[in-house]
Amino acid sequence: MPTNPAWVKALKPSGPQGSELLEQERSKSKLNIDQLADFLFTKQELDKRARILKILQADPVFDKSQNYFRGRTERMEAALARGKRLRQLSEKHGWDEREYHIANELLSEPGPYGLHAGMFLKTLKEQGTPEQHKLFLEKAERYEYIGCYAQTELGHGSNVRGLETTATWNAEDKTFTIHSPHLTASKWWIGSLGKTANHAAVMAQLIINGKSYGPHPFVVQIRDLKTHKTLENIHVGDIGPKFGYNTMDNGFLLFNKVKIPHVNMLARFSGVDPKTSKYVRPANPSLIYGTLTYIRSTIVLQAGATLARGVTIATRYCAVRRQFQDRDAPPSEPGENQVLNYKMVQIRLLPLLAATFALHFTGRGMIALYEENQKRMASQRPSDESSRAPGPEETSPGPDLLADLHATSCALKSYSSTVAAEGLEVCRRAMGGHGYSSFAGVGSWYADYLPTVTWEGDNYMLTQQVSRYLLKSARAVLKGNVQDNDTHRILSIYLKRQDMGAAFDVLGEDAEIVDAFAWRVAHLTFEALRHRDEDKKSWNSLLVDFYRLSKAHAQYMVVKNFHDALFKEEATKKELDSDTIELLKKLYRLFALNTLEQEASEFFSSQATTIRQITLARTKAVMTLLDEIRPHAVRLVDAWKFPDWLLDSSLGRYDGKVYEDMFHRASELNPMNSITFDPDPNSKVLFRQDDRQDLRSKL
């Protein structure tokens, strides 16, 4: 590695130093960071994090210093090596699932074991019989079998029923033939499949006697356990580089009439009777449905933390970075202004800072609701109707609370992951030119997060399910079938009051902001219902309205959850001092009023607010909140407690030494600076003269 000459080593950034500026920031606010952090994550969790961080930092396999420089193959190799070491450490220290998860979060890159641990084990556990647990799960838990979950195909994503891979039952020898009839049947995007997995849980169309019974899961071995080479009549590999996620070996997989024994069809819920060759109907599969709801709820919680990482980096750097003087500054303050003092920067970053807390409390609320519901369900046997994953406008599954929870989780998944992804890019741009450097630590994080807007239900597709549910609820409420859930409640209130109109004091009463958001949802719901049921508009022509409706619903839920966490929950009052609570309430107002202003036209046209209120929210309330929150910005991001090692960011360093770190990475860690190029276009050498024989030989 190159080293800096002595005269360069002697240079310091011009003052004031970043470290001084961040110290000043922290001294301007009295916010108790530890108290807030404990409230957000619990002390126990933070202690665990600190303990595991030490272990990882001590191990050279986890050295991050070359991460940003590596190409695809090297990154994959390093990621697999880290996966292995994590697994070894996990055994050595007896980590539980949570601790293993924390270690992965600290490492902060998708790893090639990700889908084995996340989906393969889960699928075996949930869909396998006890016999299959013995046969597959035990080996998989010991990582002798390493697997993936092979559902998506080259030609089929969201529409699972359209999958082309077939599993044909052979009555004569009690086997299934797994086959890929077309190129588009190739499994595609399957995490951990490209280079790592030796087994796959394959979703394939079950065919018995020429009749198709829809997609079912089958366990298929694809690579040799010793040589790691592909088995016969299987074609498997890595699908190539992606916009992000390049430490994961997403793979493709094709079968040429591969036979597997009867026991390889995961048969807990449905199967084929080997004696009669009859299909055995699914028993209690609404659990799967619940699982998706749970996954989406965790995405909401995670969206807050994902965004917080970008906000932490940008807030710290914008407190260190100084550009221009304030135009109205007195001559007594001649220095350049911290970028964070500019309103144009504040209006981009501080509402996102507020959003991190809003999403955190909403995610927590959703998971609590989910767990409550699981308990309820355990005592009720759900109806068979709830068996399939629901299509856009299917009848709603199971008990009503589940349906409500499902719809809300869809709306929130779509909204929160969009907010997080787009917010990260806002953070990156708020940092000016340096935001574009890999060392900023935001670009790669954004790129790795982006699939979340597409997977677990595409963010546009999902909104149809939300609207379907809201329309159904509106029909019920109109008929007088009002049930005991929040959706029915807000629709009923709207129906009762719509003629007299709303008059919400959104600028004076915190609770009435929630009411205004609810009103807008109800208004849009009945409007959409009129289009669908009275005007008989086509479903397709309403998709844009449905998207807006779902977004409105999600924003209502976030505002409501944030409000309730601060105003209604006893825990908040017990664990936080009143100054902290007051500050969080300001963040609540900022998030809510800024959202209201951004969606102004829907609040006008639904008459949830007046134009005057919106104007006041924008020009007065939001501007005042920015002023009030500004001094606490750095401490507020500190409360997220991201270790520097996790952030891996020059610009987001806790100590503010951003320029020293940028320079060190560029100058001393950058392998490009050990190479000399020949720039002369007239020289005979096109490539550089040392060891690139491989490239030159092609010419």
Q: Determine, following the binding rule CB under 8 A, whether residue 667 of this chain makes contact with a second copy.
A: yes
Residue 7 lies near a second copy (rule: CB under 8 A): yes
Beta bridge partners of 215: 205
Dist. CA 149–CA 349, nearest whole Å: 38
Of 456, 599, 602, 660, the catalytic one is 456
> CB of residue 210 vs a second copy: minimum separation in angstroms?
18
| Contact call for residue 330 and a second copy (CB under 8 A) | no
Does 451 engage in binding with a second copy (CB under 8 A)? yes
CA pair distance 608, 221, nearest whole angstrom: 58
Element (H, E) at 377: helix 343-379
- Which one, 499 or 680, has the nearer CB to a second copy? 680
Min dist CB 346 to a second copy, Å, is 9
Establish if 408 lies at the interface with a second copy (CB under 8 A): no
By CB under 8 A, is residue 100 in contact with a second copy? no
Contact 258, 220 (CB under 8 A): yes
The answer to whether 525 and 489 are in contact (CB under 8 A) is no
**CA 662 to CA 658: how far, in whole Å?**
6
Find the shortest distance in angstroms from Cβ 329 to a second copy: 9
Find the binding residues for a second copy in span 516-575 (CB under 8 A): 538-544, 546-547
- Smaller CB separation from a second copy, 78 or 358: 78
Site for a second copy in 28-67 (CB under 8 A): 60-61, 63
Q: Which stretch binds a second copy (CB under 8 A): 71-79, 128-136, 264-272, 400-408?
A: 71-79
Nearest to residue 128, comparing CAs of 271, 294, 275?
Answer: 271
Contact 516, 596 (CB under 8 A): yes
Pairing mode, if any, of strands 147-150 and 199-208? parallel
Is residue 131 part of the contact set for a second copy (CB under 8 A)?
A: no
Q: Is 681 in the site for a second copy (CB under 8 A)?
A: yes
Please check if 152 is assigned to a binding site: yes
| Binding residue (CB under 8 A) for a second copy from 25, 38, 109, 164 | 164
Q: Which of 327, 343, 324, 345 is nearest to 335 (CA)?
A: 324
Nearer to a second copy, 130 or 330 (CB): 330
- Of the candidates 37, 287, 600, 616, which one interacts with a second copy according to CB under 8 A? 600
Is there a binding annotation on residue 71? no
435 binds a second copy (CB under 8 A): yes
Taking the least distance from each CB to a second copy, the nearer of 71 and 480 is 71
Near a second copy by CB under 8 A: residue from 31, 36, 78, 516: 78
Distances (CA, A) of 33 to 152, 349, 376, 570, 652: 44, 19, 37, 20, 17
Contacting a second copy (CB under 8 A), which of 100, 213, 645, 663?
663
- 68 touches a second copy by CB under 8 A: yes
Question: Of 471-500, which residues contact a second copy (CB under 8 A)?
Answer: none
Report how far residue 595's alpha carbon sits from residue 429's, in angstroms, rounded to the nearest whole number.
Answer: 20
Applying CB under 8 A, among 209, 273, 509, 677 the residue interacting with a second copy is: 677
Q: How far is CA 193 from CA 107, 126, 236, 264, 271, in A?
A: 21, 21, 8, 18, 25
Beta bridge partners of 167: 178, 206
- Residue 393: active-site member: no
Sole residue written with tokens 């819920």? 269
| CB closer to a second copy out of 462 and 566 | 462
CA–CA separation, 231 and 258 (whole Å): 10
Q: Is 215 in the site for a second copy (CB under 8 A)?
A: no
| Interactions with a second copy, residue window 173-192 (CB under 8 A) | 180-186, 188-189
Q: Which stretch binds a second copy (CB under 8 A): 22-30, 469-477, 581-589, 659-667?
A: 659-667
- Counting residues that bind a second copy (by CB under 8 A) gives 154
Q: Does 383 bind a second copy (CB under 8 A)?
A: no
Residue number, 635 or 665, with CB nearest to a second copy: 665
To the nearest 10°, the Cα dihedral for 452, 454, 456, 460? Answer: 120
Strand-pairing partners, residue 220, are: 200
Instruction: Check binding of 170 to a second copy (CB under 8 A).
Output: no
Are 301 and 363 contacting, i.e. CB atoms less than 8 angstroms apart? Answer: yes
Contact between 615 and a second copy by CB under 8 A: the answer reads yes
What is the rounded CA–CA span in Å between residue 207 and residue 177? Answer: 10
Q: Does 693 bind a second copy (CB under 8 A)?
A: no
- Under the binding rule (CB under 8 A), the answer on residue 212 touching a second copy is no
Pairwise CA distance, residues 111 & 80, whole Å: 7
Task: Kindly state the DSSP code that residue 576 receives in the 8-state scheme.
Answer: S
CA distance 118 to 55: 23
Kindly state whether residue 605 participates in binding a second copy, applying the rule CB under 8 A: yes
Measured CA angle at 462 (ends 456, 464), to 5 deg: 160
List residues forming the annotated binding site for FAD: 152, 191
Catalytic residue numbers? 456
